[in-house]
Structures are given as structure tokens and as C-alpha cells.
Chains A and B, each alone.
Chain A
Amino acid sequence: ILNVEQSPQSLHVQEGDSTNFTCSFPSSNFYALHWYRWETAKSPEALFVMTLNGDEKKKGRISATLNTKEGYSYLYIKGSQPEDSATYLCAFFWGGSQGNLIFGKGTKLSVKP
């Protein structure tokens, strides 16, 4: 059974704090790892699609790293702002699929002003 785990489940930080969370996924038959930002009542918004071991990607204050050999990815947010409050989902895309993603449960981030 393919399983994707995210930790922590929720996180409360103050504005200006930097934070990070983890996604663990199966290391075999890896094709890609997706990170999404999801606000309630909106579409999950694609942040990163990561495919290569050692990949580091950055979008503004948000960055992510990937280790496919040990099966984890970190998402970092530098200087959190209240508008960063959302659920951050990671999803594993494996080589045997027909395009379907296996999602983690998400990390719910709340940033207090």
C-alpha cells in the first residue's frame, strides 16, 4: 500500500516566523512529488512539481527540497505572513500510475498577525 505522511498535522506560528514541514513518501518507483497550497473553498494551487533527487525549488518566500532515496521532502516558508495560512498538501506521483496522485493528509498552517 502506497502511503504519504505529512507532519505536523497543524502548526501555529507568529507573523515573521520561519517554518517548515515534512512529507514522507515511498522511495521506490518514484516519478514526481507535488506540493499544493489549499485554502478553504478554493482549488488546490500547485506550488512545486519535483522530480529529481536533490531538487530545490523556490517561489517567493516558499521553497522545497527533495530526497528521493530516503523518501522525504521539506517545505519551508521564510518570514510567514497571515496570507500564508492554508493547508499544504503533498502528493506522490509514482511510476506505475496513470496520472493519479496519492495525497498526504496535509499540514494546516495558521499564521497569527
Chain B
Amino acid sequence: EPEVTQTPSHQVTQMGQEVILHCVPISNHLYFYWYRQILGQKVEFLVSFYNNEISEKSEIFDDQFSVERPDGSNFTLKIRSTKLEDSAMYFCASSEDSLGQGYTFGSGTRLTVV
């Protein structure tokens, strides 16, 4: 069964450093998403991406965050200058269309900012 692949599974970084989280969505999917879950809290939407541009973003997704699809397969989330409160589980997801067909999540990257 097709999978969404995320790397690394764990990332520890120092406060103020830049991190890039990597995702390989399902190959025929057109919509890509990032979500995060801070420990003990809800899974929260960060951003959706379609046709090489952001289609929607939440208020969490401020200027410190950016996304990119550098080639035909990868979808990255960059945090420019990490803060302690960025520590969370970050999930990538993809879907066939904006109506949610085939919505599939990756297994997540646990980011710890120290």
C-alpha cells in the first residue's frame, strides 16, 4: 500500500537553529499538508500546498516556517530559528484532491528543541 515517508523520525536541535523536516508524499497525490502535535494537545493544521504554492495556512504558520517542493517527490518543512515551543511531533500528509480522497499521513518526525 502506498505510504507517506517522513525523515528523520527524531530530530534534536538547539534553540535558534534551523531545521528541515522531510516528507515524500504518495506519488500521484496533488495536495500536501503539514500538521503538528505538541505533547498532550490536539493535532493542529499548519499548512496545505498545491500546485507549487501554499493554498492555506494556519496562524501557527508564521514567518519562521516555510514549505517547499524542491523536486517532483519531496515536500519539506523548514523552521528558520527554532524555539523551545516548536518541540512537537510533525506529521506530513497527502491527498489526491482537495476533497480529501486518499488522505494519508506519514509516521511523523519528533522534533525536540533544547
Contacts and interface: CB of A to CB of B under 8 A. Distances in A.
Contact of A43 (B4, B33, B43, B44): B4
Nearest to A96: B56
A104 interface: yes
Interface residues of B, number: 28
A34 B102 CA distance: 11
A42 interface: yes
Interface in A1-56: 31-32, 34, 36, 41-44, 46, 49
Contact of A89 (B3, B43, B97): B43
Interface in A30-86: 31-32, 34, 36, 41-44, 46, 49
Interface in B59-114: 91, 95, 97-100, 103-108
Contacts of B4: 43
A19 to B, nearest CB: 22
Contacts of B98: 97-99
Contact of A49 (B9, B33, B91, B103): B103
A35 to B, nearest CB: 12
Interface residues of A, number: 23
B99 A31 contact: yes
B28 interface: no
Interface in B21-43: 31, 33, 35, 41-43
13 contacts: A31-B100, A32-B100, A36-B105, A43-B104, A43-B105, A43-B107, A91-B43, A97-B48, A98-B50, A100-B33, A101-B100, A103-B43, A106-B42
Given A32-B99, A99-B48, 18 more contacts: A34-B100, A34-B103, A36-B105, A41-B9, A43-B3, A43-B4, A43-B91, A43-B106, A44-B43, A44-B91, A46-B103, A91-B43, A93-B100, A98-B48, A98-B55, A98-B56, A99-B103, A106-B42
